[in-house]
Structure 1
Amino acid sequence: MTNPLCISIFSTLLIFSLHTYSSHASCNAADKAALLSFKIGITVDTTGILSTWDPDLDCCEAWEGIECNPTAGGRVTGLQLVSRKGGGPSIMKGTLSPSLASLHSLEVLVITGLQRIEGSIPENLSEVTNLTQLYLEDLMLQGTIPSSFTRLRSLKALSLSGNHLMGQIPSSLSSVSNLVQLSLSRNLFMGPIPDSFGRLSHLQILDLSHNSLSGVIPASLGLLIGLTYLDLSHNNFTGKIPVSLGDSTMLQDVSLSHNRLTGGIPSQIGGLKSLMTLSLSENLLTGMVPMAITSLPKLWSLNLSHNILSDPFPGSAISPSLLSIDLSYNGFHFRDIPYWIRERAMTNVHLAGCGITGSLPRFLRPSQFNSIDLSDNFLSGDINATFARMPYIEKIKLSNNQLRFDISRITLPHQLFHLDLHSNQIYGSLSGFLKGQPFKFLESLDMSRNQITGEIPSLISEMSNLVMLDLSRNQIEGTIPDSVGQMGRLEWLDVSNNRLEKKIPESLIMIGGHLRHANFRGNRLCGQIPQGRPFNAFPISTYLHNLCLCGKPMPPCKSSNQ
């Protein structure tokens, strides 16, 4: 997956379901003191939120992020500190003060996206027993989950995602029996999923992705009959996918990708009639794909890539709802792109390494395509006829095939973000390709290992959003144009093993600190390397096998070489 939209929408609904009290509340003195103590623990605030916390003003009326209950003596019921969108960095630096535990009427505590709040979670936070929603996300919190959290019996939503928390996930969390959402993703947790989590009978969202969890996925998760979202991706789980998951019939989104799961895909998953997205990629799954999976009535996204699955794939039973499919790098041998893909409206088709031969076909309903990956196959011929009818496509990957065409005669949609054609037999000039095609949205262009000739045109700088440019191992001649220095977002530049000559232009210094990788080796370049970072800090291998490049990190220049 991961499907943050699902969690985000759910979280928003929870947060804003808090009763909106009248604004005519007078702040409780004890709560005000607790908040000011919290403010002292924040040493940097670029959001400006805490600047509104003036001790001379009423915290219920004038302080940003505070909500109060006027019918209960102006007690604080909500504290929400969220990073601002847009502008500059939106951070707070400091620690979470134990004084938060003095906010005894607090129901909602949301501190998210502020990046530099560190230290441990206060143990005494469990004294705020009215808490129903606790979000401490995308900070720098360390340590473990306090064992005292078991006292938060009213808690319905707990998210500690995006921190540096470690240790094992405590089985005692299953005592927080009203939990509807539990999100602990993007931390450093280790060990197994507690088997006792099967007792969280109200749970709808469980996200433990991007940790270092291990062991088997407990069969007890099948007891969570109200579960709609399950993400266990990017961990170290082993063993088989539990057949009991088929009992969680409300599941809509499931990701078990990037683990070490073995065995077959259980046919019981075919009983999840509400399932919309299923990702089992990057595992060690074997055998054939059960027909019950492909015929799920609401399934729109299926990712089984990077496993050891084998033919035949039950495409004839594919659900009409399917829009996105990734079967790359398994044991499938399709020879042709299957008719059940060619004849339907798809958004994403990824069939890399699937033994596909021949020329690219015409898709009968191509207008909704967003991305296509047919890399590492045996495709040949031209691509114009295929992509001319895909006006909204953003990502094209056709690398490592046998495609042969004149790049200067190709017209592609202008809103492309990613174009990867490396390791083919493409010829022609870049000038002809780029003329009249500004590609102002393009972020990644890889045409390496082809037979492209001519010069790098100065209009290449019109691709102002380009982050990655790889033209290596072609037959490109002439000079590196000064205009490349105007490509301020470049992080990766590789023009190695061509026939480029003269100097590396000084204008490339203007790219500045964004550039993380550059490669100029294997050309006919001569003269002084730009003497500024990062060019004088790249390894010497960046510049080897040219005519007479000099200057740090190469040997010093002689006067005749500068």
Structure 2
Amino acid sequence: MVVLWKIWVLVILLGVSRVLVISQNLTCNSNDLRALEGFKNELDSAIDGWWPTNSSSSASTSFNCCNWVGIKCNSDSGRIVTLELPKKRLTGAFSDLISNLDQLRTLNLSGNFLSGPLPLSLFHFAHLEVLDLSSNDFNGAFPDSINLPALQELDFSGNGFHGSIPAGIFVKSTGLRVLKLAVNSLNGSIPPELGDCKFLEHICVASNLLSGAIPEFLFHLPRLGALDLQDNSFTSITGIGNSSSHVTRLDVSSNQLSGNLPDFFHNFPNLTHFSAQSNRFSGGIPSSLSNSPAISFLNLRNNSFNGPIEFNCSMMTNLTSLDLGTNNFSGSIPDDLSSCRNLRAINLARNRFRGEIPETFKNFRSLSYLSLSNCSFSNLSTTLNILQHCPNLTVLVLTMNFRGEQLPADDDKLSFRALKALVIANCGLSGRIPTWLKDSTQLQLLDLSWNNLVGSIPSYLGDFQSLFYLDLSNNSFSGVIPKNLTQLPCLSFREVSLEEGSPDFPFFRRPNISNRAVALQYNQIMSFPPLLDLSNNHLTGSIWPEFGNLKRLIVLDLKHNNISGGIPSSLSGMTSIEILDLSYNNLTGWIPPSLVNLTFLSKFSVAYNDLTGLIPKGGQFTTFTNSSFEGNKLCDYTCQNSNELFPQSQNRKSRKSKGAIAGMAIGIGIGTLFILLLMFLIVLRATTRQEVDPEKEDETDSNKEEHESRLVVLFQKSNENNKDLSLNDLLKSTNSFDQANIIGCGGFGLVFKATLPDGRKVAIKRLSGDTGQVDREFQAEVETLSRAQHPNLVLLQGYCQHKNDKFLIYSFMENGSLDYWLHEKPDGRSKVNWGTRLRIAQGAIKGLAYLHQSCDPHILHRDIKSSNILLDENFEAHLADFGLARLILPYDTHVTTDLVGTLGYIPPEYGQASVASYKGDVYSFGVVLLELLTGKRPMDMCKPKGSRDLISFVMQMKREKRENEVFDSFVFDKDNAKGMLWVLEIACVCLNENPKLRPSTQELVCWLHHGCLGT
């Protein structure tokens, strides 16, 4: 027996070794090799694991392409049968020579950056079984003639294909099992020929522009299990008769379906997942759906269903997830809902429910997620007493209910030990934070904002080891901030993580209760940023220096309290902070210069405190507007020799104290000494003036006259009869550069609105200081802008220089900056429609193309951003602020190594090499395109970890085929979808990490004006 076993093992080893030898000795067909070489030569990137035939390798290794990465050959013929190179970051076009691989059975190039139209020869492979080109940048329409008789799997999702779904695929490929065409721009209807593919198991045509009725024949395909039709423009579902469908997963979300949901679910005995969210369905839930025993996932969110919920819960024993949120359901929650004992997630938010929750809810032993927000439920105490019996409840959202009730006190003896997220916001609750919450030691998220809670913030909150999001804003809390909040592990050193992600249900919270408030939606707990929001309370004490230990904190909001003392310099230790708001407190001292090291800081405010001294220079502080500092006695580096830039507001709350009285006494004393000193100097001047040389006296008067009448250099006068402008004219037109006339903050200076004596409105940029960098900026702007004349550039009309003061005079733009309309003006985004945004992009790129290619000499902008795109009265775009530009020699491709830019817009290569280029401007312009598409700031950071900047967020959503979710809801609709997706593709090309693969500005002009992307 042992001998036989040894012989058997020997036979197997010999067989394996023979196969290995054959595999190593295989040399691919010469035609196949030429096809691979042609394919490789069309690419702009190398393929790791492929050897060129002219390499130093041996001939056998070089020609043995059967051993190349992603290649498999037939063991008998040596012909290539598999070419698989997914996620290899390949760029370039698809070579027509690939058709020479006529024995190919599998072609998978998914997850790359290949672009352009597909060659016709690709659609004529006799043996091809799997064709996967998903997640690339291919475009164009499908050909009419298609001959892929052996095809079983086709995946073209995540590209830019347009036109109709080709019927030819289904005529010749009747053995097709998997069809994926999602996330393209395909239009028209689903061709009836698809019904001939009787082997289809999976169909996904989501996120296209398909329209018409959802055809009946889809439900009759005998093997079809999954049908995904979401995010199209289908208008109706036709009946399916009395036949039975084998579909197990059906998604018709985000279409234009209306009327009653068809009562045909008795024809889907195997249906486990059904989603119809975001349509226009109305009426009640059909009885056949509520009697579906197999269904486990039901999503009817965001429709217009109405009436009471009528479920036969005793039949729906497998239901685990129920989402009926954002409808018009009314009445009370049915008592028998608890018969669905396996429910783990329930969302009933944003309906018209009233009354109390059923006591039977305590029977939900598996319930983990419950959202009842934005209804009209009552009796919070009873609700919590019932829900504490759900042992696995981890997420509880009760926002905007229980209006005016009291938060249950300690007498209720509640316990929620498994709770990880508790949201009871905007309910107008009274009372204090109870001690029974102390047992919820697993809390990660606590939101009690917009209530009327009083007392002190309990220190036990600082003992929660997993807490990373705490919002107690807009209450009436008093006392000092508990010091142990500065020691929360998840805000200091521990990664924020969840053992189990919450379901894909939305959390809704309102930042305020005004009509202009926009509901923020976070789909999962992990989507909330690490945050401490204690704003709008009555907190006292000082800011703990230990806040600097919170290295993972993203948002710290302490505005509108009574906090006093200084701003600790240790706050610079909050290295992840992106929003820091300390405004409307009683802070004194100065702004620590160390805060310039907070490189992720995108929003900062210390407005309306008692701060003095200089505003820190550098870092993100160059991007903050005046509103961040107003209401203080602060000064920036441009006003060291003048009055304070941001004087104390007369409307600030009075602080009558002994210190103030003492200050007044000291001031009076100093004033008296000053008057005496002034009188002494006058007498001294009168005495010495008699001894002045008459010639020197004339010279002094001359200098005085020069100071008062220093001429302004104008490149073009509006009227030949107009007198020359003087420095005094500029002073008068700006009221001596009064703060009230500030309209912007550019590089190294402020911008003032002025009306010149001839009636012209202009913008005057005042540059102050004697550093070499400021001098260089002034010279660069004068020398370049005086020669740059284009309709999409802000015109430099003149300049003036006197000692350390330098002034640039620009044309005035009536509508301010693009940044103002997208990010500052409360209703700005809603006022700028997609057509206007596209026109702004077109104008801006024309101006930039002129600088790069037509201006003599060529100019780099080097600080393209939305605040440097100004808008005239017709919302035409004009590029502004060439303070970062440098002159380029006619044949130079680079500029100086003195790199400057704005965080969020700086291309990645600038961090690796000290050379700026034209393609750097293109990258920054790509960021501006994303702003126009999304309405978000480049560093708008309330996003999951890893997506703190807009670019990462958009790219991640694009990889997940969720592009439609990134677009600004104010402008995105079905009519604009195609155009916005097209501009998104352009933006992504601009944001390529490889500068060489970014387009030129002239190409961008063509793409944005004529739609010739890829031609």
**Which deviations, in whole Å up to 9, do the C-alpha atoms of 1:429-480 show, x marking residues without a partner?**
667364122327x5x6655444455448433632654736372753255448
**Which deviations, in whole Å up to 9, do the C-alpha atoms of 1:319-368 show, x marking residues without a partner?**
12111111111112333335665423234434443433322343477344
Distance in structure 2 (CA, Å) of the matches to 1:153 and 1:525: 79
Counterpart in the other structure of 2:179? 182
Aligned residues: 522
Listed as ranges, the matches of 1:130-145 within 5 Å are 130-145=127-142
- The structure-2 alpha-carbon separation of the partners of 1:561 and 1:311, relative to structure 1 and needing over 3 Å to count, comes to same
- The structure-2 alpha-carbon separation of the partners of 1:511 and 1:497, relative to structure 1 and needing over 3 Å to count, comes to closer
2:221 equivalent to 1:217: no
Listed as ranges, the matches of 1:61-460 within 5 Å are 61-71=66-76, 73-83=77-87, 91-114=89-112, 116-148=113-145, 150-175=146-171, 176-237=173-234, 239-244=235-240, 247=243, 249-317=245-313, 319-333=316-330, 334=332, 335-338=355-358, 342-344=362-364, 345-359=366-380, 360-361=383-384, 362-363=386-387, 366-369=390-393, 371-378=395-402, 381-382=407-408, 388-390=416-418, 393=420, 397-403=423-429, 406-407=432-433, 409=435, 410-411=437-438, 421-426=448-453, 432=459, 434-439=461-466, 442=468, 446-452=471-477, 454-455=480-481, 457-459=485-487
Distance in structure 2 (CA, Å) of the matches to 1:459 and 1:540: 33
2:531 equivalent to 1:474: no
Distance in structure 1 (CA, Å) of the matches to 2:32 and 2:424: 61
For the Cα contact (< 8 Å) 2:117–2:139, is it kept in 1? yes
Distance in structure 2 (CA, Å) of the matches to 1:492 and 1:233: 36
For the Cα contact (< 8 Å) 2:551–2:576, is it kept in 1? no
For the Cα contact (< 8 Å) 2:417–2:442, is it kept in 1? no
Listed as ranges, the matches of 1:518-533 within 5 Å are 518=603, 520=605, 524=609, 526=611, 531-532=617-618
Comparing 531-540 with 167-176, greater Cα deviation is found at: 531-540
State the shift of 1:233 in Å: 1.6
Matched AA of 2:120: E
Distance in structure 1 (CA, Å) of the matches to 2:360 and 2:641: 63
3-state SS of paired residue (2:179): strand
State the shift of 1:418 in Å: 5.8
Matched AA of 1:512: T
State the shift of 1:125 in Å: 0.5
**Which deviations, in whole Å up to 9, do the C-alpha atoms of 1:271-330 show, x marking residues without a partner?**
322222211111111111123213322222211111111222124525121111111111
Comparing 474-483 with 33-42, greater Cα deviation is found at: 474-483
State the shift of 1:262 in Å: 0.6
- The structure-2 alpha-carbon separation of the partners of 1:354 and 1:452, relative to structure 1 and needing over 3 Å to count, comes to same
Distance in structure 2 (CA, Å) of the matches to 1:557 and 1:353: 55
State the shift of 1:53 in Å: 3.6
**Which deviations, in whole Å up to 9, do the C-alpha atoms of 1:457-511 show, x marking residues without a partner?**
4336326547363727532554484345654796863747764745666666555
Matched AA of 2:250: V
Matched AA of 2:23: S
Give me the identity figure in percent: 25
- The structure-2 alpha-carbon separation of the partners of 1:328 and 1:187, relative to structure 1 and needing over 3 Å to count, comes to same
3-state SS of paired residue (2:240): helix
3-state SS of paired residue (2:141): coil
State the shift of 1:27 in Å: 1.8
Distance in structure 1 (CA, Å) of the matches to 2:401 and 2:30: 70
For the Cα contact (< 8 Å) 1:332–1:355, is it kept in 2? no
- The structure-2 alpha-carbon separation of the partners of 1:161 and 1:509, relative to structure 1 and needing over 3 Å to count, comes to farther
- TM-score, normalising length: structure 2: 0.46
- Taking CA–CA contacts closer than 8 Å with sequence separation of 6 or more, which of the two structures ends up with the larger relative contact order? 1
Distance in structure 2 (CA, Å) of the matches to 1:431 and 1:94: 60
For the Cα contact (< 8 Å) 2:228–2:250, is it kept in 1? yes
For the Cα contact (< 8 Å) 2:300–2:325, is it kept in 1? yes
3-state SS of paired residue (1:118): strand
3-state SS of paired residue (2:599): helix
For the Cα contact (< 8 Å) 2:400–2:426, is it kept in 1? yes
Counterpart in the other structure of 2:504? none
Distance in structure 1 (CA, Å) of the matches to 2:486 and 2:428: 29
Higher percent of residues as helix: 2
Distance in structure 2 (CA, Å) of the matches to 1:244 and 1:507: 69
RMSD across aligned positions (CA): 4.0
Counterpart in the other structure of 1:13? none
3-state SS of paired residue (1:162): coil
Listed as ranges, the matches of 1:504-523 within 5 Å are 512-513=599-600, 518=603, 520=605
For the Cα contact (< 8 Å) 1:214–1:236, is it kept in 2? yes
- The structure-2 alpha-carbon separation of the partners of 1:273 and 1:96, relative to structure 1 and needing over 3 Å to count, comes to same
Counterpart in the other structure of 1:537? 623
Matched AA of 1:102: N
- The structure-2 alpha-carbon separation of the partners of 1:557 and 1:299, relative to structure 1 and needing over 3 Å to count, comes to farther
For the Cα contact (< 8 Å) 2:552–2:576, is it kept in 1? no
Matched AA of 2:265: I
Q: Rg: which structure is higher?
A: 2
Counterpart in the other structure of 1:33? 34
Task: Name structure 1 gaps, 5 residues minimum.
Answer: 1-19, 84-89
Matched AA of 2:466: F
Distance in structure 2 (CA, Å) of the matches to 1:414 and 1:123: 62
